[in-house]
Amino acid sequence: MKSSVLRTAMLALGVVAATPSGAYAQEPDAAGVSLPVVSATTVGPMKQAFADMPVACRKSVQQGLRVSGGYRGSANGRWSTDLGNALVSYVLAAGNLAIGWPSVPGSKGILWHASADNSACPPPPYR
């Protein structure tokens, strides 16, 4: 319960910071760090990270994205274009998560976050 409240608050703050055009992903964040471009065409590392995760974790990610309203598909543990688009929206809304987008380990961290810290998804090593 405590974790979901914190996650919701973090997402709410991220939505305020994101711009509707998605340009936020190309601008420096508050610390001056340039964030990578987050889009459906740069989703490769995220797709690989998703494939590397256990099925229970993949389903948990899909369920978490359904709860947040960004994904309408079924929680079947399979990658789809809709899931990729939901993850793009999720990352752009949270803003600060974009830093992990271009790498498989960073993408696993984003997926862990999207799963609402479900125990089926142990936190990845951030290397």
User: So where are the chain's domains?
Assistant: 2-114
Average pLDDT, the chain: 77
What average pLDDT score do residues 103-115 get? 90
Quote the pLDDT of residue 33. Answer: 67
List pLDDT tens digits, range 16-31: 333 333 333 445 555 6
Q: What percent of the chain has pLDDT over 70?
A: 71
Quote the pLDDT of residue 28. Answer: 52
Quote the pLDDT of residue 75. Answer: 94
Number of Cβ within 10 Å of residue 92's Cβ equals 25
Nearest to 38 by CA among 30, 49, 46, 50: 46
Q: Can you say whether residue 29 is alpha, beta or left, with left for phi > 0 and alpha for psi between -120 and 50 degrees?
A: beta
Is the overall model pTM greater than 0.75, yes or no? no
Distances 27 to 9, 99, 111 between C-alpha atoms, Å: 23, 11, 23
